[in-house]
Amino acid sequence: MADQAIEDLDVLSGRMKDFYAVVRGDEIKERTDVQIFGEWIDQAFHIRGRRLHEAEFRPISRFPMKLGVDADKVAFGQLPAEIFEGRLLSNGSQGVVSHRGLAYRIARTNARVYYLPQTFTGPTFPETDPMHAYRTHTCGELRKSHVGETVKLSGWLHRRREHAGALFIDLRDHYGLTQVVVYPNAAFYEDAKRASAESVMTVTGKLIARDAEAVNPDLPTGEVELPAESLVIESAAEKLPLPVFAEPDYPEDIRLKYRYLDLRRETLHKNMTLRSDVIASLRSRMVAQGFTEYQTPILTASSPEGARDFLVPSRLHPGEFYALPQAPQQFKQLLMVSGFDRYFQIAPCFRDEDARADRSPGEFYQLDIEMSFVTQDDVFNAIEPVMRGVFEEFADWDGKGRAVPSEPFPHIPYAEAMEKYGSDKPDLRNPLELVDVTEFFVDEEKTGFGIFAKIIKGGGKVIAIPAPKATAEKSRKFFDDMDKWAKKEMQAPGLGYARLKESDAGGVDSQDPALKGFAPDHLAALLEKLGLGAGDGVFFSAGKKGDAYKLAGAARNKIGAELDLIEKDVFRFCWIVDFPMYEWDEDNKKIDFSHNPFSMPQGGMEALEAAKTDEEVLDIKAFQYDIVCNGIELSSGAIRNHRPELMLKAFEIAGYGPEVVEAEFGGMLNAFRHGAPPHGGIAPGVDRIVMLLADAENIRDVTLFPMNGQARDLMMGAPSPVDDRQLRELNIRLAPQVKS
């Protein structure tokens, strides 16, 4: 079938006179009624963005004969239109369209396309004689319906058990496990008994059903087993440096050095498959939104974008360097200037920065997006359905049973987020909100607590973090441990607290220092503002405004977790908007950009020119926004500053003269001088999306071959020295290393 052209095959939808005419764009009467989720196939079998909807499928007489299927089982009339959300994976005469785990095999002759539904459980193998060299089935697909068939499996020896002399081997491949039985009278029994874990073997036999008492309901293949009639050791494994079976906790350096073994473990293996599925979903959803994928350069120029560049020396241009892109920021903006409208890319990004639990050292991937002629709301309306759709699609991945609330993502201004949550990436599953109680500690005569009064006189703030039911449910140790945590982990002077109890007079008081000296009516007013009473607790963060909110925000997260207040099994998203255009750089004692230097300031040139003082400059907001989910920043974006004169002014305020801007960003600035559309974009982090969906604690658990915390690839040995010849070719001489 794959290499034959069938001239007389005629399979058409019920409303199409000639499929060939439709894909060419010829006028037909029913044209306006024919659209299929934004995709069509042209004469060269390429997927194109066009609308073909509500086509009615029906088999024509020669269909069963020519494709070798039973027409009664095809049921074309029941095929959902949604299958065409899938992508064509092959440009040959056969291929597969996949949608939500269901695959549809494609047969093509000339300009016609035929769809047959099939459930995809693994690769298919030709039915030839002799039998395939390695397998007729995968280790995950055998069921009771296969009993009696002679099958051949290949995979890894996952686990071996011995019972009554027989060997029971769990044979594993990418798709699952099948139990193989080797009896003592088999000529290969001793070979199977000596084979070490993770050896690769091929087994042939006639499949049988397990006895009822031996059925494993937790295993898809648990109703069958394969008595081995032949067994070949394809590759014997040496002693393992780390176990694959049972996945015990193991040192990270060993896991990363032998990553190919680590990836065989069930959890990681599923995570990587999830990653692939998420990327495929993101890509298909972007295409459905009318975006086109483009690839931007990897070797580019160094530019000051916030992190250290990875530099690549040029052999052809001695003393000069390329840089790996921190992000495709300038290129995607230049694409908009080039007249393209909706761009996306699953883009690799490179930044020489330290590792964190949610950040890989060296490289990461993001869904890079840019759009022309858009407002901030246009970006939200395009991207929110993509993010919601992906998380809804994989919410129940691995049976986790999570949900995404149906209401639109809330829009929270940056200032409000800092005041309520002490963070610009708030976890909305936590119901706790911070409260500014500075005013209640100003008058020492009403509080009897001079420490906070002194801080306030110095321009500081006092921020309260409610801890409902903490006094009733926790001992004093919980409160003391929170104070110790603030000092040790947050490098703060401490975290004040008060345990609220019923007083002898019938009211509420506290014997802890922060509130012990409060006048009764003053304490009652404070507790009313906080919404607290007897049995509750409260913590206090005091200091300079920024420091006080930083500690309070971190304490909010910890208290919410310790008191088990965090909502379970839900993804709560929000947009953080109205970021300040500038911030005060305490180290350099100057104003600098707070977020993205290419952002459009709210109010445009007028706002920039009207700001005369540092305070007025710091009040300028930008069209900048983040997507946050469960306390994790997934993406940052902005409406761009596309006007050269406005860009020069924005940089001038941050202390960068026109000569600096021309030198560092001259390519983009010159492009803007030749007609630039208003444009904006965003870039959700792929690694963080997968990390959330996989419920992983470290981003390395969703990355195939990550580096360790010191930015070393322990498996491949990178970075590594190079020989003198390579250095000479690059016109590089290494400086002597200073010993510490």
Lookup: tokens for 233: 């050791």
Q: What is the pLDDT of residue 123?
A: 76
Report CA dihedral (65, 66, 72, 77) to the nearest 10 degrees: -150
Lookup: tokens for 663: 């030198």
Question: How many whole angstroms separate alpha carbon 709 and alpha carbon 312?
Answer: 22
Asked if residue 118 has pLDDT above 90, the reply is no
Give the residue from 25, 268, 512, 103 showing the smallest Cα distance to 523: 512
Tell me what the mean pLDDT of segment 502-528 comes to.
Answer: 92
For 123-142, the pLDDT digits (tens) are 777 665 678 899 999 999 99
Asked if residue 25 has pLDDT above 50, the reply is no
Tell me what the mean pLDDT of segment 84-93 comes to.
Answer: 37
The pLDDT-based confidence of 121 (bands split at 50, 70, 90) is low
Q: Kindly report the length of the chain.
A: 740
The pLDDT-based confidence of 548 (bands split at 50, 70, 90) is very high
Asked if residue 234 has pLDDT above 70, the reply is yes
Lookup: tokens for 4: 């034959």
Asked if residue 55 has pLDDT above 90, the reply is no
- Do 38 and 50 contact (CB within 8 A), yes or no? yes
For 705-727, the pLDDT digits (tens) are 999 989 999 999 999 999 999 99
**Mean pLDDT computed over every residue of the chain:** 85
Question: SS3 for 558?
Answer: helix
Asked if residue 585 has pLDDT above 70, the reply is yes
- Do 486 and 512 contact (CB within 8 A), yes or no? no
- Do 615 and 657 contact (CB within 8 A), yes or no? no
The pLDDT-based confidence of 626 (bands split at 50, 70, 90) is very high
Asked if residue 119 has pLDDT above 50, the reply is no
Question: How many whole angstroms separate alpha carbon 686 and alpha carbon 692?
Answer: 10
Peptide bond into 658 cis (omega under 30): no
Q: How many other C-beta atoms can be found within 10 angstroms of the C-beta atom of residue 693?
A: 24
Cα of 228 vs its chain's centroid, Å = 43
For 631-671, the pLDDT digits (tens) are 999 999 999 999 999 999 999 999 999 999 998 888 889 99
Q: List CB contacts of 642: < 8 A, sequence separation 6 or more.
A: 333, 600, 672, 676, 677, 678, 679
Report CA dihedral (119, 125, 130, 131) to the nearest 10 degrees: -70
Asked if residue 353 has pLDDT above 90, the reply is no
Which residue has tokens 């494609």? Answer: 106
Where is pLDDT greater, at 92 or 365? 365
Using left for φ > 0, alpha for ψ between -120 and 50, and beta otherwise, residue 491 falls in: left
Lookup: tokens for 342: 């909706």
Question: How many whole angstroms separate alpha carbon 653 and alpha carbon 96?
Answer: 56
Q: List CB contacts of 430: < 8 A, sequence separation 6 or more.
A: 556, 557, 560, 565, 566, 567, 631
- Do 158 and 197 contact (CB within 8 A), yes or no? yes
Lookup: tokens for 726: 């390579």
Across the strands, what pairs with 630?
A: none
Question: How many whole angstroms separate alpha carbon 226 and alpha carbon 192?
Answer: 14
Tell me what the mean pLDDT of segment 376-380 comes to.
Answer: 97
For 144-191, the pLDDT digits (tens) are 999 999 999 999 999 999 999 999 999 999 999 999 999 999 999 999
Using left for φ > 0, alpha for ψ between -120 and 50, and beta otherwise, residue 669 falls in: alpha
Asked if residue 109 has pLDDT above 50, the reply is no
Question: How many whole angstroms separate alpha carbon 630 and alpha carbon 570?
Answer: 8
Q: What is the pLDDT of residue 307?
A: 79
Q: What is the pLDDT of residue 101?
A: 41
Asked if residue 110 has pLDDT above 80, the reply is no
Question: How many whole angstroms separate alpha carbon 118 and alpha carbon 520?
Answer: 74
Pairing of strands 461-467, 508-509: unpaired
Q: What is the pLDDT of residue 128?
A: 57
